[in-house]
Amino acid sequence: MDSRLASTLDDLKARFRPGTIKKATTYYLSLGDGKGQKWTVKLSPTACEVVAGKTENADCVLKTSGDLFMKLVGGTWKPGAVDFLSGKIKTNDLDLLRNLQTAFGI
């Protein structure tokens, strides 16, 4: 799973759409409890950086399983209200999470 997840995040970086983010934003992706399942995504209006590991200063936190994240990025799963209410996906800022989706065309 770790190599598939890393590959998905590399692919995500290539899909970044400059100009879709208004200000620099840092995202922390918690995609499981194991090694290689914590990621930091830093976006600016012109650049995207994806690095392994947890950041202490995230503007937005996304917590879901690695499998669901890969389905989200792959376009085979769109989270709905039930997914948030059931805890399949968690975030501290829904608007910033939507911005993340927009930045990558998810």
Task: Encode pLDDT of 59-105 as tens digits.
Answer: 999 999 999 989 988 888 888 889 888 999 999 999 999 998 899 98
Q: Which residues pair with 60 in a beta bridge?
A: 27
Topology of the domain comprising 2-104:
Nonspecific Lipid-transfer Protein; Chain A (3.30.1050)
Structure tokens at 36: 């290689």
pTM of the model: 0.88
Q: What is the pLDDT of residue 7?
A: 87
Q: Judge contact between 73 and 104, C-beta under 8 A.
A: yes
Report domain extents, the chain: 2-104
Kindly report the three-state secondary structure assignment for every residue of 42-83. EECCCCEEEEECCCCCCCEEEEECHHHHHHHHHCCCCCCHHH
Q: Are strands 89-91 and 38-43 parallel, antiparallel or unpaired?
A: unpaired
